[in-house]
Structure 1
Amino acid sequence: MTKTRSVRIDYFSDVLCIWAYVAQIRLDELRHAFNQQITLQHHFIPVFGHTEHRISEGWQDKGGFIGFGKHIHKVCVDFPHVEVHEALWCEQAPCSSAPAHQFLKAVQLLEQQGEISSECLSDCQDRTRFEETAWQLRLAFFRDNRRIDTRSELLAIAEEGGLPTAAIEELLDNGQAMAALMRDIELRDEYRIEGSPSYLLNEGRQKLYGNLGYRILEANVREVLDKADNQASWC
């Protein structure tokens, strides 16, 4: 019997990154096109770990948070499939993406422990419950301008999604979610991940970074799936 080949994609992103928000449609299409032939493993990295430093200081000569917000709106003109709140980054800007990342690692741990289903949800673009939660956080920030750097807002989103908030809080409080997040950062350094979003395939041999078109992602996945055993990928 011929064994069906599969490929693991380690996906590194920051929940506050506009390019990861834009890229969700490509992840959904990969899932739809390849189904059980791919496994997505999500990792979170602190590109926006300290927004005051990154934006207020980094964009000091370009308008600070307001200038950055205008930049995001300009970027999204070319991507009509996403929605951006008119006051994004201009009002109640988040201090850090880290609280949202820690929260998502808690949800991911619940999935790994079997506390929530790891099956894809047909009514959520075939995302798992964890992946749908990550998408809802991105929507909460970019579309609705919610403060996803606060525990109260994160738990409200969890409750809206029918997630076990008490179990999430326990993982946040006992250090397990933080440890999982720190491991993501260690993996970022081990694989020399440059930023968000980044895709790692073929046991680290293929690394893709940035606002890439779907066909580039598809070609790299097909190269891994189609190559013979022990043969180097051409990508």
Structure 2
Amino acid sequence: MAAPVVIDYYSDILCVWAWIAQRRIDELNNKLSGKIELRYHYLDVFGDACNKIPNQWAERGGYAGFAKHVIDSAAPYPDASINPDIWYKVRPNTSANAHLVLKAVELSYGKDKSIEIALLIRQAFYIDGQDIAQLSLLFSLLEAAGIDGERINKAMFDGSAMASLMADYQQAKALSLKGSPSYIIDNGRQVLYGNVGYRVLLANIEEHIRQPTEEASWC
């Protein structure tokens, strides 16, 4: 059996387009089970959200303008529910705390568990309207999911979680990724970015499955 096509998936936990992409990721995993391997990484889009949003959206309504943009962006996608309070009332200062916790979970419990917790954190923000920059909230979510907070603290306190997160951030810069979400297919043979539709993702990935890396491609 051929080795699965690797897809390095970079996103920011606070990116609405990554939230919208969640259903597409689930569908890809279901349809192409065993044929693809998704490796989840994080990049820095909202690491400084408390300055980024009011500054970049100063002439477009500030937080209120950005909140409307998020709601309008998700409106065509019924699977991407949006709590009306986010960015209007609930304004996380950073995505980095969530990314750090997820890296600690990955180191302590494995990649599959980290992927599971990432979805819980996104749901806490987008559906429940909770401030996922708050470490107290993040640890409450971990506790509810049966995660041992002491194991997570160890990975955070000894710097291993931070080192893993910085590796993601630096690799995203080295790859000159434009933003979230970004899909790096088959070790860089193709890069897709932004609000890429499911059929486009599927067609491109299936082409890589049919076309072995060592063979020439007409793409």
- Is this a same-fold pair by TM over 0.5? yes
Whether the 8 Å CA contact 2:103–2:114 is kept in 1: the answer is no
Per the alignment, residue 11 of structure 1 pairs with 9
Per the alignment, residue 161 of structure 1 pairs with 145
Whether the 8 Å CA contact 1:198–1:208 is kept in 2: the answer is yes
Per the alignment, residue 217 of structure 1 pairs with 201
Per the alignment, residue 154 of structure 2 pairs with 170
CA distance in 2, matches of 1:216, 1:225: 14
TM-score (norm 2): 0.95
CA distance in 2, matches of 1:83, 1:139: 9
Per the alignment, residue 99 of structure 1 pairs with 97
CA distance in 2, matches of 1:69, 1:139: 17
Gaps of 5+ in 1: 113-117, 119-127
Q: Which residue identity is paired with 2:46? A: F
Whether the 8 Å CA contact 2:4–2:34 is kept in 1: the answer is yes
Per the alignment, residue 79 of structure 2 pairs with 81
Q: Which residue identity is paired with 2:129? A: N
Per the alignment, residue 124 of structure 1 pairs with none
CA distance in 2, matches of 1:233, 1:187: 26
1:142-200 residue CA offsets vs partner (Å, 9 max, x unmatched): 11111111111110010111112110111111111100000001110221111000000
1:30 to 25, 28, 31: 28
Gaps of 5+ in 2: none
1:18-75 residue CA offsets vs partner (Å, 9 max, x unmatched): 0000001011011101111111111111101111222111111111111111111111
1:110-157 residue CA offsets vs partner (Å, 9 max, x unmatched): 234xxxxx6xxxxxxxxx322111011111111111111111111001
Per the alignment, residue 114 of structure 2 pairs with 130
> Does 138-147 or 224-233 show the bigger shift?
224-233
Over the matched positions of the two proteins, sequence identity in percent amounts to 38
Whether the 8 Å CA contact 1:224–1:233 is kept in 2: the answer is no
Alignment RMSD (CA, Å): 1.3
Q: 1:234–1:192: structure 2 CA closer, same or farther, 3 Å change rule? A: farther
Whether the 8 Å CA contact 2:106–2:113 is kept in 1: the answer is no
Deviation at 1:233, TM superposition (A): 3.4
CA distance in 1, matches of 2:189, 2:120: 31
Per the alignment, residue 210 of structure 2 pairs with 226
Per the alignment, residue 186 of structure 2 pairs with 202
Q: Secondary structure at the match of 1:136?
A: helix
Q: Which residue identity is paired with 1:132? A: E
2:106 maps to 1:108: yes
